Amino acid sequence: MKNILFVCTGNSARSIIAESIINNEFKDKFKAYSAGSNPSGKINEDIKEFLEKNKNYDLSEYRSKNFEIYLSSEIKIDQVVTVCNNANNEVCPIWPEKNQIIHWDIDDPVSKLKNANNDEKQIIIRSTFNNISTKIKNWLNEK
């Protein structure tokens, strides 16, 4: 069983989505965790509702947290995947072991969700979910 850490800035959407996909769809081979370089302190409510209602994922144990807890953790992280968007000048976290890091450039849906109506929110979230899901499947096929 390999441990994967998904890291983004706020740990409220992208990394939570990635963590939940791995822990629900690929739990026979992987255990996923998520964290942020500047965590928001909570999971985005629209993202949480989508994952729980549309995907039937249990997020009761999920929370927004700083990635530094994994630097001193007893959990051995085998792979770190950053999911921030460099085009938006987000600061992607630095992990001590460079060979463990993969970077996926994924737009932050949270800023788009703020002014969106319910239909637009579903499109934004589904698009982000599908993008991350595709990246995970492609990455796993390369392994």
Where in the sequence numbering do the catalytic residues fall? 8, 84, 92
Adjacent-strand bridge partners of 137: none
CA–CA distances in Å: residue 105 to residues 14, 50, 90: 11, 22, 10
What does the alpha-carbon distance between residue 68 and residue 107 come to, in Å, rounded to a whole number? 23
CA atoms within a 13 Å half-sphere pointing along the CA-CB vector of 132: 29
Q: Is 111 exposed, middle or buried (0-12, 13-18, 19+ CB in 10 A)?
A: exposed
On the CB side of 17, CA atoms within 13 Å amount to 32
